[in-house]
Amino acid sequence: MAGVTLDTVRKIYAGNVEAVKGVSLDVEDGSFCVLVGPSGCGKSTLLRMIAGLETISGGDIRIGDRVVNQVEPADRDIAMVFQNYALYPHMSVYDNMAYGLRNRKTPKDEIEKRVKEAARILAIEPFLDRKPRALSGGQRQRVAMGRAIVRKPQVFLFDEPLSNLDAKLRVQMRVEIKRLQKALGVTSIYVTHDQVEAMTLSDKLVVMSGGQIEQVGSPAEVYRRPETRFVATFIGSPPMNILPGKVEGPGRVSVGGQTIAVTDMREGLAPGSAIEVGLRPEDVQAGGAAGSSSLGMDVDFVEELGATQLFHGKVAGTDFVVQASTGQIPAETRKLTLSIDPANVHLFDPQTTKRLGRF
Amino acid sequence: MEKRAHFSGWTLPLLLILPQMAITVIFFYWPASQAIWQSFLREDAFGLASEFVGFENYIDLFKQPEYYRAMITTAIFSTLVAFFSLSVALLLATQADKSLRGGHAFKTLLIWPYAVAPAIAGVLWIFMFHPTLGTLARPIRAVGIDWNPMLNGNHAMILLVLSATWKHISYNFLFFLAGLQAIPKSVIEAGAIDGAGPLRRFWTIIFPLLSPTTFFLLVVTVVYVFFETFGIIDAVTGGGPAGQTTTLVYKVYADGRLGGDLGGSAAQSVILMVIVIALTAIQFRYVERKVQY
């Protein structure tokens, strides 16, 4: 098994469109790395470059200690699971899984052993003789996974493998992929636009935007300490509220004339300068509390989510969402006082959008 | 999704299908029934009288060695044209499917021969390969081959196969290209990751997935060689030399129009009609079953 290292990897398409702008990343051996970002952020292109399906315009890609820039996909010792499964429609499930091994001249009994083993792990033994078209979406997904694991590759690549499944199956397959990866211990790189998938699957979360990496870290790190406003609003659901504010002094900012205490604030910011104040909907509480600052909110409407309710409204003229356990705040409330824990306030530079926290 | 129109009465739907029915009846059922009726009649030499002879025209036909020779000629001709027009078209389509600079111009140019009328296509090839006038015949003769499609039956057949193949490649090319483009790119990529080289990918993934298209084109090409190469044969060889390139269809024309044997010619038409109905039936059956996978 091997890790994957990217060194200032670039992709420039004809017409000077730069899809990937110098990405450097270390994926440790055996870890599960998720690339997440909106459509067109270059995450799929990056994955296809690792697979060898796209040429590399600049930089180096290493699998283990080997630079693979010019190596054919077949010789990179990787396996890929595609969004539309990409099963061979004219072959049975067994042949789909055996194809890669036959191409590599694996002995027949070894092929049979490995395919049976994979089919057992994935619970697709009853379907080995069927053609893919006779399978459901979830079963096809398993066959695609099976095709990847029989090869025992150095690296698994997943290109949005769950986006063609319905919501319930997606959650189920997500858990299975995680379990399988832990059991096999194969380095995995997984591309998705779904931040819930990204948070739940990854050991290492890579948030991308506009062909660049915005932040790399464990899911908890990325959630607790987003490095840019983009990451702050992309990771977390519902997204973080961003309010325009002013620097008042060390550890203090104000929003619409209401002062808030902040724990994680860069030193030396000029009082009176503009700043963006980020608050997660789940981090603000209704009602006053000791040691907290408070903000007034006008409520417009309430969304019911069952266990929780989302209160939509305005704070100092800016849209704001508060998430609260159902029943904690009466649904007919029109004016709320929110208490803010200083540790839960995120500050961003309005120009560079970078985090203005302590170093 | 199914589209359905609902009509309140019978008048409008009948009016709407009337033109198509009229065309089918006038141009297909009526001549077909005439041919069947004609095949049971025998005319005198001057075309003044005809008498009912039953199956005698058919019996006579199967006594003629020329008829069997026309069958063999047709079989050779259609096998060669089908093989070459399908394989060359497939080769060109796989090349055109790659993203090439100027690929669109390449595709457009490949489609042009289909727009050339058969007789004109024949004339074009005659100009190139006529033993004395042909621009390409001279170099062939210069290397010591006594090239003469006017006298040598094999040479005549080669020339016919060339021109009929050339004209039909466009059609097959278009369908193969569409078939190739319908194969999801990720399936090919999965093959590449699974360690199959380009040739192995072609024979184990692309070719099997193209089999419905290939089968459809095989039937269409055979029908084309049987019936639509008449213009080319007439312009290039006129069935000669000495009847060596007379196919079943050309023999219908030669016996009926040139030989004046309307009854015998009609009997041959009826046999051809049965062949084409059989081919179409096979095709419908398989196309409806969506073939192979």
Let me know if residue A78 belongs to a domain. Answer: yes
Q: Could you tell me if A30 and A152 lie in one domain?
A: yes
Whichever domain contains A74, its CATH number is 3.40.50.300
Domain ranges of chain B: 64-260
Per-residue pLDDT, B292: 46
Let me know if residue A108 belongs to a domain. Answer: yes
Let me know if residue A353 belongs to a domain. Answer: no
Q: Could you tell me if A160 and A207 lie in one domain?
A: yes
CA–CA gap between residue A102 and residue B204 (Å, rounded): 12
Per-residue pLDDT, A213: 93
pLDDT-derived band at A245 (thresholds 50, 70, 90) equals very high
CB A5 within 8 A of CB A26: yes
Q: Could you tell me if A95 and A129 lie in one domain?
A: yes
CA–CA gap between residue A296 and residue A262 (Å, rounded): 17
pLDDT-derived band at B128 (thresholds 50, 70, 90) equals confident
Q: Where are the alpha helices (DSSP H) in B98-117?
A: 103-111
Tell me if A99 and B191 make a contact (CB, 8 A cut-off): yes
Cα angle B286-B289-B293, degrees, rounded to a multiple of 5? 105
DSSP notation for B274-290: HHHHHHHHHHHHHHHTT
A52, A72, A90 ranked by CB distance to B209: nearest: A90
pLDDT digits over A190-213, tens only? Answer: 999 998 899 999 999 999 999 999
Indicate the number of domains in chain A.
2
3 state SS of A305: coil
What residue numbers bound the domain in which A41 lies? 4-227
Distant-in-sequence, close-in-space partners of B51: CB < 8 Å, separation ≥ 6: B41, B42
Element housing A184 (H / E): helix A167-184
Tell me if B187 and A78 make a contact (CB, 8 A cut-off): no
**How confident is the prediction for chain A on average, in pLDDT?**
90
A87 interface with B at CB cutoff 8 Å: yes
Q: Could you tell me if A183 and A217 lie in one domain?
A: yes
For residue A304, which of A322, A326, A284, A285 has the smallest C-alpha distance?
A: A326
B interface residues, A as partner, C-beta within 8 Å: 184, 186-187, 189-197, 200, 204-205, 208-209, 292-293
Let me know if residue A109 belongs to a domain. Answer: yes
Let me know if residue A354 belongs to a domain. Answer: no
Q: Could you tell me if A320 and A176 lie in one domain?
A: no
Q: Could you tell me if A262 and A145 lie in one domain?
A: no
CA-to-CA separations, A354 to A215, A226, B216, in angstroms, rounded: 11, 9, 61
Let me know if residue A146 belongs to a domain. Answer: yes
pLDDT digits over A99-131, tens only? Answer: 999 988 889 999 999 999 899 888 888 899 999
- ipTM metric: 0.80
For residue A129, which of A152, A104, A98 has the smallest C-alpha distance?
A: A98
Q: Min CA distance, B103 vs chain A (Å)?
A: 16
A73 interface with B at CB cutoff 8 Å: yes
Let me know if residue A113 belongs to a domain. Answer: yes
Whichever domain contains A334, its CATH number is 2.40.50.140
Q: Could you tell me if A186 and A256 lie in one domain?
A: no
CA–CA gap between residue B247 and residue B260 (Å, rounded): 18
CB A3 within 8 A of CB A155: no
Per-residue pLDDT, B9: 82
CB A324 within 8 A of CB A343: no
CA-to-CA separations, A163 to A25, B19, B45, B70, B186, in angstroms, rounded: 25, 50, 78, 60, 15
CB A20 within 8 A of CB A10: yes
Q: Could you tell me if A175 and A27 lie in one domain?
A: yes
Fold classified for B64-260: MetI-like fold (1.10.3720)
Q: Min CA distance, B280 vs chain A (Å)?
A: 25
pLDDT average, residue stretch A81-91: 90
Q: Could you tell me if A126 and A220 lie in one domain?
A: yes
CA–CA gap between residue A130 and residue A183 (Å, rounded): 27
Tell me if A103 and B205 make a contact (CB, 8 A cut-off): no
CA–CA gap between residue A191 and residue A206 (Å, rounded): 10
Q: Could you tell me if A96 and A139 lie in one domain?
A: yes
Q: Could you tell me if A217 and A291 lie in one domain?
A: no
Q: Could you tell me if A162 and A31 lie in one domain?
A: yes
Q: Residue B293: pLDDT above 50? A: no
Let me know if residue A220 belongs to a domain. Answer: yes
B193, B196, B204 ranked by CB distance to A79: nearest: B193
